[in-house]
Amino acid sequence: MFFFTLKILFLLTITSVIGKYVQSDDERPDLKWPKKYTFQATKVSLTSGLVEDIEFWRTSKKSRVDYNEGAVKKIAIKGKRRTLKSFGVKYEIHPETTEEYLNELFCIRTNGTATNRVNLDDLLPDEGEFEYRGKEYLETGLVDKFAYEQTESQKYLWAYLDSDNSSWIPVRLEVIGFNGWLEQLKEHVVTYYTNFKTEVDDSVFDVDKYDCGDAPAPETNNINLSNLDPEIDEHVEIAFNRYKLEFNRQYSSEDEHAMRKSIFQNNMRKVNEHNSKGSTYRLALNKFSDRTQEEKQKSKGLLRREPGEIGTHPFPYDKKKIAELAENLPTDVDLRLEGFVSPVKDQQGCGSCWSFGTTSATEGALARSNGGRLLRLANQALIDCAWGFGNNGCEGGSDTAAYRWMIEYGLPTEEEYGFYKDNDGFCNIENMTTIYPIKGFTDVTPFSVEALKIAVMNHGPLSVSIDVGSSEKLYDYNGGVFYDPKCSPEKLDHEVSLVGYGEVDGEEYWIVKNSWGRDWGIDGYFHISTRDHACGIATEPTYVVI
């Protein structure tokens, strides 16, 4: 849906752009933003599907940014010398709703200090980082392209020089980056700018109409967990207390607290030991770090298909055709960029992975068949209704049973059926007004990297089964290309979605969407090596036929 919105956005802005470009390189001054400006923007995370609408104002002394159609407002004002606010002040205005009031606005004021001065928000990139790369056509017309390229961070900016006032006007910013705080967490974010103006009404920074109260004193105990030693009790205590606060953990007894702390300490050891070696991937403490093996089992849920059970439609490429197509395959494919992948969800304590993998494959096939329109389908319908086909709701299910139920009944949208509930529910399929049926599903040639690449490029996303239990390290994954020889190509216990492939430092990998939430892995995704068909990812891949 948001890709459709962006197309409309481009059409609305095109008339304000065309005809204002400076065509000669000799006339092009250095890239530099005006001293004051305002704009609207749509920020799209291609790794998570998150879309933000933003409005921004900035002068040399003040900034304001509005999110979510103005629901949240953040205002920053630089300090004035020899005043009570010499280190600056910032305000945040947001709505709250309780049983007593509806959408009441609250304002929180935070005064800067000598060690923590208030800085203005900066939603445009630093001009000095970029090098000019020539002109390029976008949907808005001919613009100038600038680039900043480093090993761990790449930024690409498209802008044009407005001949009316000699100001650079940003059009689009693409950031592909490395997050040091989360170690190897990568991001891919595109921001589209519209309605850029160089006049700012100072009244937008007024906060007089809000009853602003002071924010609570900030925490001063800043701890870098990576420097803590799991063999030192005091360090473990510090890390575990921070962990409980971060993940809102509350335990029922002292015995449980001691048990959870012991599990956490063992995971500290595992993470530190792994990350001290030269591995292609990194581990981190996360929401699984105090969980038992039994509790972790609930984050999976795949039941193996019956022996001899095969797809309803044959794979349309024989060995000769696969070899022929493999010669011209692109080096990377990412179906998120094509709008075929819905946002990551969290299955939580329900063993429903089988429903997420098959639903994602169905959403992609449906988007391919209707001109790119991505609909969010209700995997909760599979959990509630597919028992008669061999699935057991939150106690597990198979991809083939899910597909056979969809052949019979189809899938409704989340909007009509309801969102994922993390529990079994009453089946409501007969009350749906719109159902999207499938004709069947196809098994991709097993244990063939080339066949899998062709399938994901032409028919994906794919639903793929993997082995998590034999390794256990995937639970702690935090970035890089995962590979663990302990994984089995046969002991498949978790269903995920294959959405692309790529290569880094000579290592080819699959891009996989998981169902453990966006606070896990790379914004909910992981990269896994194509070597040895790691963790069984090429054992039983399937895609949907619409």
Residue 514 half-sphere exposure toward CB, CA atoms < 13 A: 24
Alpha-carbon dihedral 127, 130, 134, 136, rounded to 10 degrees: -70
The pLDDT assigned to 376 comes to: 94
Exposure string (b/e) for 30-58, b if CB count within 10 Å is 16 or more?
Answer: ebebbebbbbbbbbbbbbbbeeeebbbbb
Q: Is residue 295 part of a domain?
A: no
Whether 433 contacts 439, CB under 8 Å: no
Beta-carbon contacts of residue 81 (< 8 Å; ≥ 6 apart): none
Whether residue 142 is contained in a domain is answered as yes
Same domain, 194 and 269: no
Catalytic residue among 188, 459, 494, 527: 494
The reported pLDDT for the residue numbered 314 is 96
In a domain, 309, yes or no: no
Supply 471's token pair: 């390794």
Q: State whether 258 and 336 are in the same domain.
A: no
Mean pLDDT, the chain, integer: 87
- Domain holding 245, by residue range, is 225-278
Question: In this predicted model, what pLDDT tens digit does every residue of 93-114 receive, in sequence order?
Answer: 988 887 787 888 889 998 887 6
- Distance in angstroms (rounded) separating the CA atoms of residues 36 and 200: 7
Residues 231 and 196 in one domain: no
Residue 237 sits in the same domain as residue 332: no
Last residue of a domain, one of 169, 203, 237: 203
Exposure string for 434-454, b = 16+ CB within 10 A, e = fewer: ebbebeebbbbbeebbbbbbb
At 336-389, the pLDDT tens digits run 989 999 999 999 889 999 999 999 999 999 999 998 899 999 999 999 999 999
Work out how many domains the chain is built from and give that number: 3
For residue 325, the surrounding DSSP H or E stretch is: helix 319-326
- Whether the per-residue pLDDT at 246 is higher than 70: the answer is yes
Report residue 435: phi and psi, to 5°: -125, 140
The sign of the torsion formed by the CA atoms of 11, 48, 53, 160 equals negative
Q: What is the mean pLDDT of residues 156-173?
A: 90
Residues 172 and 261 both lie in one domain: no
Residue 76: strand, helix, or coil = strand
The one catalytic residue in 212, 286, 350, 353 is: 353
Asked if 331 and 471 sit in the same domain, the reply is yes
Confidence tier at 57 by pLDDT (50, 70, 90): very high
- Residues 128, 253: one domain? no
What pLDDT was estimated at residue 118? 87
Other Cβ atoms less than 10 A from the Cβ of 174: the count is 16
Last residue of a domain, one of 217, 248, 278: 278
Query: Is residue 294 in some structural domain?
Result: no
Distances in whole angstroms, Cα of residue 253 to Cα of each of 105, 245, 256, 262:
39, 17, 5, 14
Q: Is the pLDDT of residue 18 over 70?
A: no
Please indicate whether residue 494 is annotated as part of the active site: yes
438, part of any domain: yes
In a domain, 190, yes or no: yes
105 domain residue, yes or no: yes
Residue 300 domain-assigned?
no
The verdict on whether 535 is a catalytic residue reads no
Nearest in space to 501 (alpha carbons), one of 474, 461, 469: 461
Within 8 A by CB and 6+ apart from 404, the residues are 389
Please indicate, yes or no, whether residues 68 and 198 belong to a single structural domain of this protein: yes
Q: Is 165 a catalytic residue?
A: no
For residue 435, what is the domain's CATH number? 3.90.70.10
- Beta strand 51-58 pairing with 62-67: antiparallel
> Is residue 24 located within the same domain as residue 139?
yes
Residue from 514, 527, 533, 535 carrying the catalytic annotation: 514
| Together in a domain, 496 and 538 | yes
Predicted confidence at residue 476, as pLDDT, reads 93
Q: What pLDDT is attached to residue 441?
A: 97
CA distance 363 to 414: 11
What pLDDT is recorded for position 380? 94
The domain boundary residue, chosen from 152, 171, 203: 203
| CATH code assigned at 57 | 2.50.20
- At 258-310, the pLDDT tens digits run 999 999 999 999 999 999 888 999 999 999 999 998 899 889 999 988 888 89
Which residue has 């702390």 as its token pair? 261
Compute the average pLDDT of residues 72-80.
89
Could you tell me if 147 and 159 are in contact, meaning their C-beta atoms sit under 8 angstroms apart? no
Query: In this structure, are 125 and 46 located in the same domain?
Result: yes
pLDDT digits (tens, 9 = 90+) for 421-463: 888 999 999 999 999 999 999 999 999 999 999 999 999 999 9
Q: Which of 66-80, 216-230, 250-264, 330-344 bottoms out in mean pLDDT, i.e. has the lowest?
A: 216-230
**CB under 8 Å to 416, separation ≥6 — which residues?**
378, 432, 433, 434
**432 and 508 co-located in one domain:** yes
